[in-house]
């Protein structure tokens, strides 16, 4: 499922676009946010389908070698451990995966060269060679092997990144997170998983869906108050000279401090400092950390932080 960290990232990106264009429709911004999140969920399914495509390509190569005019003994007696991998077979039969792929019209059919390059990259890897040589096999070994395809091959394959970037601008920053989603998914598979094995939902629950919508809306609706708060706690800085992305990160953090009573301030602070590592310079990160820390302390002193829920009442 889409984690709250990714939700925060998507809200930040949509907020940046909102303030960078003439379109100031809150409804349109919300639609864009959920479209972005949906594209990440598309990528999750698309990559699951990719490992099937690579295995299918391997099987085609085996069949071609068998049908050579003068096949060798190895051609006629190939090692089929990869193409018969139990996890890949379960993915082939997974109804939810295929229903989503068909519904969203996701296909690798126009990328045969990419499939070939990824296969060649895979078979040269040490973990592939070790896996194929090992005559013993277990479901756990098959699962670990498929997980390594994603983490050791697809996650670092430049050709794949280039292809995804051409297919959708929404996938530029999603690979690492999406692969982590896939790793979580694979752990749910077991030897008895049938075609109805569940995949991860887009959101963990309704609370996460509401969080995405509310974070965007509250950040925009309370723009003036949030910007004034940032300005007040960066008095030695000209707000116009602070990087725009840094301001947006602090705006979102302040929104969580003030308007999300169930989220601990420590969680919000840590999440936006982490987000600044990817969207700000190192100097900016230190600046953001200092301003948010000062802002949070003053908000607590003034009694404006009101957290409710187990372990949150009276948070200091």
Domain spans of the chain, in order of start: 4-188, 222-301
- Distance, in Å, from the CA atom of 63 to the CA atom of 76, rounded to the nearest integer, reads 9
Q: Cβ distance 272 to 310 under 8 Å?
A: no
Per DSSP, the three-state class of 22 is coil
Exposed/middle/buried for residue 301 (C-beta within 10 Å: 0-12, 13-18, 19+): exposed
Q: Cβ distance 9 to 176 under 8 Å?
A: no
Nearest residue to 52 via CA among 133, 175, 146: 146
Write out the chain's pLDDT in tens, 316 residues.
Answer: 899 999 999 999 999 999 999 988 999 999 999 999 999 999 999 999 999 999 999 999 999 999 888 888 888 989 999 999 999 999 999 999 999 999 999 999 999 999 999 999 999 999 999 999 999 989 999 999 999 999 999 999 999 999 999 999 999 889 999 999 999 999 999 999 999 999 999 999 999 999 999 999 999 999 999 999 998 988 776 666 678 999 999 999 999 999 999 999 999 999 999 999 988 887 888 889 999 999 999 999 999 998 886 655 555 5
Q: Strands, E, within the chain: which ranges?
A: none
Q: Cβ distance 39 to 244 under 8 Å?
A: no
- Distance, in Å, from the CA atom of 260 to the CA atom of 217, rounded to the nearest integer, reads 12
- Distance, in Å, from the CA atom of 256 to the CA atom of 265, rounded to the nearest integer, reads 8
Domain 222-301: homologous superfamily in CATH: NusB-like (1.10.940.10)
- Distance, in Å, from the CA atom of 174 to the CA atom of 195, rounded to the nearest integer, reads 27
Residue 286 confidence (pLDDT):
86
- Distance, in Å, from the CA atom of 165 to the CA atom of 181, rounded to the nearest integer, reads 20
């Amino acid at each position: 499922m889409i984690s709250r960290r990714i939700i925060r990232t998507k809200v930040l990106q949509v907020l940046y676009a909102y303030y960078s264009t003439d379109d100031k429709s809150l409804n349109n911004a919300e639609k864009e946010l959920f479209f972005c999140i949906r594209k990440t969920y598309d990528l999750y399914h698309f990559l699951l389908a990719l490992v099937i495509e690579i295995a299918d390509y391997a099987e085609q190569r085996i069949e071609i070698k068998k049908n050579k005019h003068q096949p060798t003994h190895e051609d006629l007696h190939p090692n089929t451990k990869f193409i018969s991998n139990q996890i890949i077979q379960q993915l082939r039969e997974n109804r939810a995966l295929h229903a989503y792929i068909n519904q969203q019209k996701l296909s690798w059919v126009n990328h045969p060269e990419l499939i070939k390059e990824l296969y060649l990259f895979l078979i040269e890897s040490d973990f592939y060679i070790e896996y194929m040589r090992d005559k013993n096999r277990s479901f756990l070994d098959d699962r670990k092997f498929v997980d390594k395809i994603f983490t050791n091959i697809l996650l670092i394959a430049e050709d794949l990144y280039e292809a995804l970037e051409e297919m959708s601008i929404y996938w530029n920053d999603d690979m690492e997170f999406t692969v982590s989603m896939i790793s979580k998914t694979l752990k749910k598979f077991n030897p008895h998983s049938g075609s109805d094995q569940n995949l991860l939902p887009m959101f963990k629950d309704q609370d996460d869906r509401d969080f995405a919508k509310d974070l965007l809306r509250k950040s925009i609706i309370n723009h003036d108050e949030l910007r004034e708060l940032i300005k007040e706690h960066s008095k030695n800085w000209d707000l116009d000279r602070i990087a725009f992305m840094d301001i947006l990160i602090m705006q979102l953090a302040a929104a969580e401090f003030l308007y999300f009573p169930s989220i601990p301030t420590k969680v919000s602070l840590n999440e936006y400092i982490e987000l600044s590592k990817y969207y700000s310079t190192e100097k900016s990160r230190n600046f953001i950390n200092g301003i948010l820390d000062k802002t949070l302390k003053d908000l607590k002193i003034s009694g404006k932080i009101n957290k409710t829920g187990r372990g949150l009442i009276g948070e200091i």
